[in-house]
Amino acid sequence: MKRSSGKILVVLLAIILVVVLLAPFLYQPVLNGAGKFLAAAEAPAGASDVAVVEGEAWVEQAAVSRAADLLRSGKVRRMLVVLHQDPDGSRVVALPGDYPELVKRELARMPIPESRFQVVSVPVRHPVTLTEAQSVTALLNKSGAKSAVLLAKGFHMRRSLLVYRHVAAPLKIRIVPLAYFTTYQPDRWWQSDDGVRDFFSEWLKLAYYQVRGYIPMKFSDA
């Protein structure tokens, strides 16, 4: 019995030693891969009907710039900028009531023709990403759009993609993901406080959305 216990102890110590020796070589690729999974990205197959700048309390310059680049290069035909409203639709969350007009003026200055962009304010409530996706896909369907490039910030991209695709599937609208980053990068997110916070927060929210049935119980985005 003692010999058996001793052998098990030796094996465990050997495994621990191997893990310790390999850790410096393995941890970075693992963290890198986990980050890139959350930062879902695909190359659009041909031109999409619209670039959707996902809603937040305000519009990120990085997101609008990426959408404008897609527009100028012919990869999308128009741009849809989404703003969040209070559930009663009274005003944009945490911002002045004239904020949508400010956004429109900034887009016109870039310059982007008014015929090529639309700024919409959608009422949102818990769960925010789901209620936004329902409102936006309804707008896309009403406009006749059949494909959209979805721009979402950082590691929120994976959850947003799964939600949008789940909601858009019955409408036969194809959603292509394109994440943008401002304070960290997906291949070295652990070097940033924002990256670490978003990484763990999004994995938890992704699990929550699946448990609640807001998205399918799978990690695939197909």
The DSSP annotation for 64-129 comes to: HHHHHHHHHTTSEEEEEEEEEE-TTSSSBTTS-TTHHHHHHHHHHHTT--GGGEEEEEEE--SSHH
What parts of the chain have a pLDDT lower than 50?
Answer: 1-2, 20, 23, 221-222
The predicted pLDDT at position 55 comes to 78
CA distance 74 to 149: 12
CA distance 222 to 214: 15
CA distance 112 to 47: 18
Rg for the chain (alpha carbons), in Å?
22
CA distance 126 to 120: 19
In which element (H, E) is residue 152 found? strand 147-153
Going from N- to C-terminal start, the domains of the chain cover: 38-211
The predicted pLDDT at position 9 comes to 59
CA distance 49 to 131: 22
Query: Token pair 């769960």 is at which residue?
Result: 127
Burial tier of 192 (Cβ tally within 10 Å: 0-12, 13-18, 19+) = middle
CA distance 150 to 52: 5
The predicted pLDDT at position 108 comes to 77
The predicted pLDDT at position 15 comes to 65
Query: Token pair 């494909």 is at which residue?
Result: 147
**Considering the domain 38-211 in this protein, what is its CATH number?**
3.40.50.620
Own/partner long-range contacts of 106-109 (Cβ < 8 Å, ≥24 apart):
106/64, 107/64, 107/68, 107/79, 107/81
The predicted pLDDT at position 31 comes to 80
Please give the single-letter amino acid code of residue 193: D
